[in-house]
Structure 1
Amino acid sequence: MAGLVVTGTPRTPLDLVDTLAEYSVATVHEAQGRTGLLASAITPIQSGTRVAGSAVTVTVAPGDNTTIAVAVEQCQEGDLLVVTPRAPCDMGYFGDLLATSLKTRKVRGLVIDAGVRDVADLQAMDFPVWSRYVSAEGTTKGNLGDVNVPISIAGQIVHPGDAVLADDDGVVIVPCARVAGVLVAAQDREEKEEISRARYLAGEIALDVNNMRPMIEAAGIRYVDYSMWKERRIS
Structure 2
Amino acid sequence: MFVIEPMPPQIPDDLVALLERVETATVGHVLHSGFVDRRIAAVLPGKRVAGTAVTIRIPHADSALLHWLTAEVRPGDVVLVDRCGDDRHACWGGVITNAMKLAGVKAGVVDGPATDFSEIVRVDMPMWCRGPSSITTKLLGLEGAVNVPVSVGGQVVHPGDAVLCDESGVIVLDPARARAVAEKAIAMQENEIVLLDRLRRGEKLPDISGARAMVEAKRVR
> Taking structure 1 as the reference length, what is the TM-score of the superposition?
0.87
The residue number in structure 1 matching 2:206 is 207
- Partner of 1:94, secondary structure, is coil
Letter of the structure 2 residue corresponding to residue 145 of structure 1: G
The residue number in structure 1 matching 2:87 is 89
- 1:157 deviates by 1.2
- Partner of 2:151, secondary structure, is strand
Q: Distance in 2 between matches of 1:34 and 1:194?
A: 23
The residue number in structure 2 matching 1:27 is 26
Change in 2 beyond 3 A, CA 1:8/1:57: closer
Please give the residue correspondences for 1:108-147 in structure 2 after superposition, counting only pairs within 5 Å.
108-141=106-139, 142-147=141-146
The residue number in structure 1 matching 2:155 is 156
Please give the residue correspondences for 1:50-89 in structure 2 after superposition, counting only pairs within 5 Å.
50-89=48-87
- 1:115 deviates by 1.1
Query: Which runs of 5 or more residues in structure 1 are unaligned?
Result: 224-235
Instruction: Assess if the C-alpha contact under 8 Å between 1:63 and 1:89 holds in 2.
Output: no
Aligned residues between the structures: 220
| Deviates most, 10-19 or 108-117 | 10-19
- Partner of 1:116, secondary structure, is coil
- 1:22 deviates by 1.4
Letter of the structure 1 residue corresponding to residue 58 of structure 2: V
The residue number in structure 2 matching 1:187 is 186
The residue number in structure 2 matching 1:231 is none
- 1:106 deviates by 0.5
Query: Which runs of 5 or more residues in structure 2 are unaligned?
Result: none
Change in 2 beyond 3 A, CA 1:186/1:222: same
The residue number in structure 2 matching 1:226 is none
Deviations along 1:182-201, one digit per CA (max 9) or x if unpaired, are: 12212221222122111111
Deviations along 1:133-189, one digit per CA (max 9) or x if unpaired, are: 210111122222111111111121111111111111111112111111112212221
Please give the residue correspondences for 1:11-50 in structure 2 after superposition, counting only pairs within 5 Å.
11-31=10-30, 33-50=31-48
- Partner of 2:62, secondary structure, is coil
Change in 2 beyond 3 A, CA 1:215/1:155: farther
- 1:213 deviates by 2.4
Please give the residue correspondences for 1:93-112 in structure 2 after superposition, counting only pairs within 5 Å.
93-112=91-110
- 1:36 deviates by 1.5
Change in 2 beyond 3 A, CA 1:203/1:34: farther
Q: Distance in 2 between matches of 1:35 and 1:179?
A: 13
